[in-house]
Amino acid sequence: MKTAPSVAFAALVASTASAHSIFQEVYVNGVDQGHINGIRVPTYDGPITDVTSNDLICNGGINPYQQPVSDVIISVPAGAQVTAEWHHTLAGADPSDSADPIDKSHKGPIMTYLAKIPNATQTTVTGLQWFKIYEDGLTVSTQQWAVDRLIANKGKVTFTIPSCIEPGQYLMRHELIALHAAESYPGAQFYMECAQLQITGGGSTSPPTVSFPGAYKGSDPGITINIYQNLTSYTIPGPSVFTC
Ligand SMILES: *[C@@H]1O[C@H](CO)[C@@H](O)[C@H](O)[C@H]1NC(C)=O
Ligand SMILES: *[C@@H]1O[C@H](CO)[C@@H](O)[C@H](O)[C@H]1NC(C)=O
Ligand SMILES: [Cu+2]
């Protein structure tokens, strides 16, 4: 039987209105850094939908941070493999929750950015210069999204810290965009948290950077999109991934 798309769409949005997610744990070369250690986590798992908001930088704001905000700075050798782990709520993994790590309706891309910062625990996050180190979008041949892979991997996403960047303190902005309601803007749901890193080793390369807010527009083809069709391409928002 055929259901009118608008009815199916409305039902989907209603049934998944609170099935959100929080990036809440970091692993460095496979070593667990501890639950919510070194990450600015909000208590509420809801999205940011305004690409011009300062809340798009490191969340917080309309989703207030869990207090006290972690003062841990995670040490990461340049070139290391970092794993980010997401769960539906701050309580962590819950195998009995069908929306953990995130509801399967929340299809979309996953990205990681870094920005140098004088002090990784400082409150101010405006004015930083960001570069993208990882992105995963849509596999067209299977119509599998990065979020489908995240769910299959029980909330974990692994990527590499570039080996040539300068040592120092950084924020790592790890982001998931859910596109289930993205047919018009605002509609896409931006989920992100920032981890506090001390990158060691490395080199002296300064990648080209973008600003948040600023890097995304509501009209970006990867932000305003109807995903309820067989897509022949998907353009991940933001700059291209920096490689050494
Ligand atoms: C870094 O920022 C935190 C939070 O504002 C502050 O407590 C700490 O003293 C700062 N560290 C340095 C070295 O300035
Ligand atoms: C996408 O294509 C597959 C295989 O041709 C088809 O079964 C499916 O119904 C299509 N989905 C949509 C949303 O058009
Ligand atoms: Cu949600």
What are the φ and ψ backbone dihedral angles of 210, each rounded to 5 degrees?
Answer: -130, 170
6 has a pLDDT exceeding 90: no
Is 2 part of any domain?
Answer: no
Tokens 């970092």 locate to 82
Residues 6+ apart with CB under 8 A from 96: none
* Burial grade of 31 (CB within 10 A; 0-12, 13-18, 19 or more): exposed
Query: Cα separation of 95 and 237, whole Å?
Result: 31
Where is pLDDT greater, at 194 or 2?
Answer: 194
Average pLDDT over residues 175-196: 98
Q: What is the pLDDT of residue 197?
A: 98
14 has a pLDDT exceeding 90: no
Where is pLDDT greater, at 145 or 18?
Answer: 145
Query: Cα separation of 205 and 203, whole Å?
Result: 6
Give the CATH number for residue 185. 2.70.50.70
Is 40 part of any domain?
Answer: yes
Token pair for residue 122? 């400082």
Is 227 part of any domain?
Answer: no
> What's the structural domain count of the chain?
1
Is 238 part of any domain?
Answer: no
Ligand positioned closest to the Cα atom of 179: 3
Q: Which residues, chain by chain, have CB under 5 Å from ion ligand 3?
A: 19-20
Is 235 part of any domain?
Answer: no
Pair 103, 68: CB distance under 8 Å: no
Which DSSP symbol is given to 69?
A: P
CA atoms within 13 A on the CB side of 213: 13
Q: Is the CB of 141 under 6 A from ligand 2?
A: no
Which DSSP symbol is given to 66?
A: P
Is 240 part of any domain?
Answer: no
Compute, in angstroms, the gap from residue 168 CA to the centroid of ligand 1.
15
The predicted model scores a pTM of: 0.92
Tell me, rounded to whole angstroms, the distance of Cα 23 from its chain centroid: 7
Query: Cα separation of 124 and 119, whole Å?
Result: 10
What are the φ and ψ backbone dihedral angles of 25, each rounded to 5 degrees?
Answer: -155, 140
Q: Is the CB of 160 under 6 A from ligand 1?
A: no
Query: Cα separation of 48 and 34, whole Å?
Result: 25
Dump pLDDT digits (tens) for 71-125: 999 999 999 999 999 999 999 999 999 999 999 999 999 999 999 999 999 999 9
Q: What is the pLDDT of residue 7?
A: 45
Q: Prior bond to 208 cis, omega within 30?
A: no
Would you place residue 201 in the very low, low, confident or very high pLDDT band (cuts 50, 70, 90)? Answer: very high
Is 13 part of any domain?
Answer: no
Q: Is the CB of 228 under 6 A from ligand 2?
A: yes
Domain span at residue 145 reads 22-212
4 has a pLDDT exceeding 80: no
Compute, in angstroms, the gap from residue 73 CA to the centroid of ligand 1.
11
Average pLDDT over residues 139-158: 98
Would you place residue 19 in the very low, low, confident or very high pLDDT band (cuts 50, 70, 90)? Answer: confident
Is 4 part of any domain?
Answer: no
31 has a pLDDT exceeding 90: yes
In the chain, what percentage of residues exceed pLDDT 70?
93
